[in-house]
Structure formats: C-alpha cells, structure tokens
Amino acid sequence: MQTLAPVSLSTEEQVFIDKVIATRQGRPGALLGILEATQERNRYKYLPLETLRYIAAKVDVPLARIYSVATFYALFNLQPQGENTICICRGTACHTRGSRKLLESLRLDLGLETGAELGGADKLSATTPDGKFTVRTVACFGQCALAPVAEVNHRICGHVNERTLEREVQALVREHR
C-alpha cells in the first residue's frame, strides 16, 4: 500500500474524491470515472498533479499509471482550462478540408501564440491570458462526414468555416461580457 504523500487539497476536495472513489472503485472503467468526476468538479476543469497524486494513493495505483491515463485520453486536462473551449479537429478528413487554416484564424482572432512558438501547429492546447478561451486540437471526433469539424463548449459544429467560427467566438465574447 502506498503512503499518502502530503497534498495541498482542501478537506472538501479530499472528501469529494473519497466519495467518488467509494462509489466507483471495483467497477469497470472505475479509474476513468473517478478522474472524470474529479475534473468536472474542478473550477478550471483540470486535474492538478496533487489531485492525481491523492487519487493514486487512495486507489493504490502508481502515480505514473494514473498520469499516463490522464495524458492518453483527450478528455482529461492537466492545465487549467478557459471559460470556453473550442476544439478543432486535425484528423485527415478535417485537414483536407482546411482545418489548419481554421486553427490559424482562430488563434489570430484570440491573440494566441503562433504554431512555431507552441512547438507545432498540430497538437495544441492554449489558453488566452484572460482565461476566457482555450483552443485545443483533437485527432478525430468520429464525425468525419461533417468535416471540417469544431467543438464549441462541447457542441459539435460541422462544415465550419472561418466566418462561422468567428461568429461563434463573437457570440461567446458577448455572452461573457
């Protein structure tokens, strides 16, 4: 059994995680469910390292394994997320229908860094300094017939173009004023 490392989680967070573990442990896919519920409760929709460490100790699974699960699934975030998330598909079908251009124009609209500064245009997760928007990429939404596809706050939008994406962003900006 691993020893509990000192963590900076509040008692409230620890109680929540303990409850989630108690209700899910032993079920198929328990770890994914535990991580998902924990991330959902986080104000910035991410899994801080100390949270992963706490879960690892509680479920008696090595931290490295928990970390590899959290990094494998696109659903999980290891960095704080913006109030709004826009996800651009960079799969083959979407790429051939112009998703790179969509991504670039979205980044310009939001004033995010260029691909070179982020270490490549195809795998991206970046948040605006004001914390309003996170732009991410995925490998495929499984909706290739609708290419190019974007997801705006978990809503799938098919056949998007630069203009429709810009309108989506503007609507969100107005909503959050």
Task: State phi, psi for 124 to the nearest 5 degrees.
Answer: -140, 140
Examine residue 149 and tell whether it contacts ligand FES (CB under 6 A).
Answer: yes
Q: According to CB under 6 A, which one of 140, 157, 172, 173 is a site residue for ligand FES?
A: 140
Residue 156 engages ligand FES in binding (rule: CB under 6 A): no
Cβ atoms of residues 82 and 103 within 8 Å = no
- Taking alpha carbons only, the member of 151, 136, 134, 137 closest to residue 83 is 134
Which residues ranging from 76 to 115 are in contact with ligand FES (CB under 6 A)? Answer: 89, 91-94
Total residues contacting ligand FES by CB under 6 A comes to 11
In the bound state with ligand FES, the residue whose beta carbon lies nearer, of 17 and 102, is: 102
Our finding on whether 63 is near ligand FES (CB under 6 A) is no
CB-based contacts of 169, cutoff 8 Å, min separation 6: 86, 106, 109, 110, 133
Which residues contact ligand FES (rule: CB under 6 A)?
89, 91-94, 140-141, 143-144, 147, 149
